[in-house]
């Protein structure tokens, strides 16, 4: 896995607790994940960001690196250690949040496709998984997307949104990313008990 700086996956580095892995994908709502990262970090909680290639077209990895105070994982193929990074990270992660989640990553997660750092990480992750979709309302309503969401929900993946409202590509309907406040509240509720451990 390639990072923007030295390795956050270095086994000599003291682990943070609890560590949220945030997967950012190529939705126009990706910039809202930067706000989430800032708030999460300000709450004193650990976060490791993984960005897809499409997400990096929309928001710069350096933004997440600075806000999370960790190098961002942007590629699968540079391994900092003897152990593949996604395996080592999975051992430390308390939860995975994919925010925003594209139709594409939802499909890949539902069907076990592991062709980049985030989708490969998902298959290595044994803890709770949260998905906050964001897409055009017609994409969200598509039977393929709905079927993929059902597959994931049946496996225990928890969905946050999407909500109704105006979307960036024009129009109005269900497909908008849930408010950052709501996502933040769900995630802190889900992980808070672990902070007391």
Ligand X SMILES: Cc1cc2nc3c(=O)[nH]c(=O)nc-3n(C[C@H](O)[C@H](O)[C@H](O)COP(=O)(O)O)c2cc1C
Binding status of residue 148 toward ligand X by CB under 6 A = no
- Helices 30-42 and 180-195: angle between axes, nearest 10 degrees: 40
106 CB-near residues (< 8 Å, 6+ apart): 131, 133, 145, 148, 149, 152
Residue of the chain from 102, 117, 120, 125 that contacts ligand X (CB under 6 A): 102
Please check whether residue 98 is in contact with residue 131, taking contact to mean a CB–CB distance below 8 angstroms. yes
Q: Does 104 bind ligand X (CB under 6 A)?
A: yes
- Part of the chain binding ligand X (CB under 6 A), chosen from 14-22, 80-88, 103-111, 122-130: 103-111
149 is catalytic: no
Binding mask 62-81 toward ligand X (x if CB under 6 A, else -) reads --------------------
Smaller CB separation from ligand X, 64 or 92: 64
Query: Cα–Cα distance between 20 and 22 in angstroms, integer?
Result: 6
Side by side, which strands form the sheet with 129-133? 2-3, 73-75, 46-51, 19-24, 93-101, 129-133, 158-159
Cβ of residue 56: shortest distance to ligand X, in angstroms?
9
Please say which residue, 19 or 98, places its beta carbon nearer to ligand X. 98
Nearest approach in angstroms of CB 164 to ligand X is 15
The pair phi, psi for residue 79, each rounded to 5°, is: -95, 125
Report the catalytic residues.
169
| Contacting positions for ligand X (CB under 6 A) | 25-29, 52, 54-55, 102-105, 134-135, 139
């Amino acid at each position: 896995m390639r990072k923007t700086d030295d390795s956050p996956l270095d086994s000599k580095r003291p682990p943070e607790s609890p560590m949220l892995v945030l997967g950012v994908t190529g939705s126009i709502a990706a910039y809202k994940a930067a706000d989430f990262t800032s708030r999460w970090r300000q709450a004193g909680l650990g976060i490791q960001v993984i960005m897809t290639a499409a997400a990096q077209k929309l928001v710069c990895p350096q933004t997440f690196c600075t806000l999370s105070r960790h190098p961002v994982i942007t590629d699968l193929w540079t391994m900092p250690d003897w152990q593949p990074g996604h395996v080592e990270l999975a051992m430390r992660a308390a939860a995975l949040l994919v925010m925003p989640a594209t139709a594409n990553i939802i499909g890949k997660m539902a069907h076990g496709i592991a062709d980049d750092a985030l989708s490969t990480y998902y298959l290595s992750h044994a803890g709770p998984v949260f998905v906050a979709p964001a897409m055009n309302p017609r994409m969200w309503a598509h039977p393929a997307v709905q079927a993929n969401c059902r597959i994931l929900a049946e496996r225990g993946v928890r969905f946050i949104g999407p909500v109704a409202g105006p979307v960036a590509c024009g129009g109005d309907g269900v497909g908008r990313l849930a408010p950052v406040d709501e996502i933040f509240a769900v995630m802190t509720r889900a992980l808070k008990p672990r902070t007391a451990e």
